[in-house]
Amino acid sequence: MDLDPGLAALRPLGGFCVLHASQPSPAGPFPTLAHAYAKDHGEPGRGGPVPGDREDPLASRVRKVAAALPAPETRVAASVAQQGLAARLWSVALGCAVLYDRVPDLAPSLLHWDPDATAPDDLWLAEVRSRPGDVATIAETVLHTHLTPLTTVLHARYGVATGLLWGNAASALAGAGRELGRWARRHGRKDTAARARSLTAGLLAHPLLTGTGSLTGDAFRRRSCCLYYRVPGAGVCGDCCFSRPPEPARSPRPSRSPQLPRSSPRAPSE
């Protein structure tokens, strides 16, 4: 069936899958995700303070996440914020694909974003345009249109490694597919669960996500870490490459008899 203007079929799936669409419009003048991905909001630098400019919605979300965790480094908050937004986009796209066999055009210029809100009140789609619900279209809709520019901006502004961010994208995808499968099985919809699993596996085979982890059934094990373990008192995520939080790096013990650097003509040879 084709998409309805309000994407009503998503409502039983829960908050992360629900997307406000068409009318009514948001209560405030929220920016679009196209605005959030813009590269000209300033570059605070790795580990530096997050700017508080309301015209910079991405920085606003990173700042909000940093305060909520609390994150010891800005790049930790940037990583967690990116994974959350990726999970929202994957959940909407997969939810529509398995229920409608269609996906909405999620062009960043059509998606309005409230960086201070939580799902499902954070996103609003101005116009529902129906597209095919196949792997290639979903990859274009989410990976290329959203996660590629988001990865570029977060790497440039906050120094988050691109491999880590693509690992986050894969983890969010696997999580969205797993939750859809669980919902479908609870409601006796085996065909829907199989469709969610098939789409998830197909998307994880995309060149941008190949090598980010391994999928066994519904279980995903990533090959990178989102840095959440750096939050005080936090452990590792269920799909983390680490089985337990890594030990902090130890400083080398000082030598009892300091030696001159090798560049010095008086330094002993080896």
For 155-169, the pLDDT digits (tens) are 999 999 999 999 999
Q: Give dist(CA 154, CA 161) in Å, integer.
A: 9
pLDDT bin (cut points 50, 70, 90) of residue 24 is low
Could you tell me how far CA 117 lies from the centroid of its own chain? Answer: 16
* Res 23: pLDDT: 65
Would you say residue 129 has pLDDT above 60? yes
* Res 140: pLDDT: 98
pLDDT bin (cut points 50, 70, 90) of residue 233 is confident
* Res 239: pLDDT: 87
Q: Is 32 helix (H, G, I), strand (E, B) or coil?
A: strand
* Res 59: pLDDT: 95
Tell me whether strands 20-21 and 123-125 are parallel, antiparallel or unpaired. Answer: parallel
How high does pLDDT run on average in the chain? 86
pLDDT digits (tens, 9 = 90+) for 175-207: 999 999 999 999 999 999 999 999 999 999 999
* Res 261: pLDDT: 36
**Into how many domains does the chain fold?**
1
* Res 29: pLDDT: 74
pLDDT bin (cut points 50, 70, 90) of residue 22 is confident
Residue 137 included in any domain: yes
Residue 191 included in any domain: yes
Residue 246 included in any domain: no
Residue 241 included in any domain: no
pLDDT digits (tens, 9 = 90+) for 34-80: 999 997 654 443 333 333 344 799 999 999 999 999 999 999 999 99
Residue 203 included in any domain: yes
Return the percentage of the chain with pLDDT > 90, whole number. 73
The secondary structure of 108-124, three-state, reads: CCCEEECCCCCCCCCEE
Q: Which domain holds residue 47?
A: 8-230
Residue 256 included in any domain: no
The number of beta carbons lying within 10 Å of the beta carbon of residue 188 is: 8
Query: Half-sphere exposure of 231 toward its Cβ, with a 13 Å CA cutoff?
Result: 22
Residue 262 included in any domain: no
Would you say residue 263 has pLDDT above 60? no
Report how far apart the first and last C-alpha atoms of the chain are (Å, whole number): 76
Cβ proximity of 131 and 104 under 8 Å: yes
Would you say residue 255 has pLDDT above 80? no
Token pair recorded at residue 156: 């440039």
Cα separations in angstroms, 11 against 7, 90, 133: 8, 15, 18
Token pair recorded at residue 120: 């499902």
Residue 82 included in any domain: yes
Region 101-116: mean pLDDT is 96
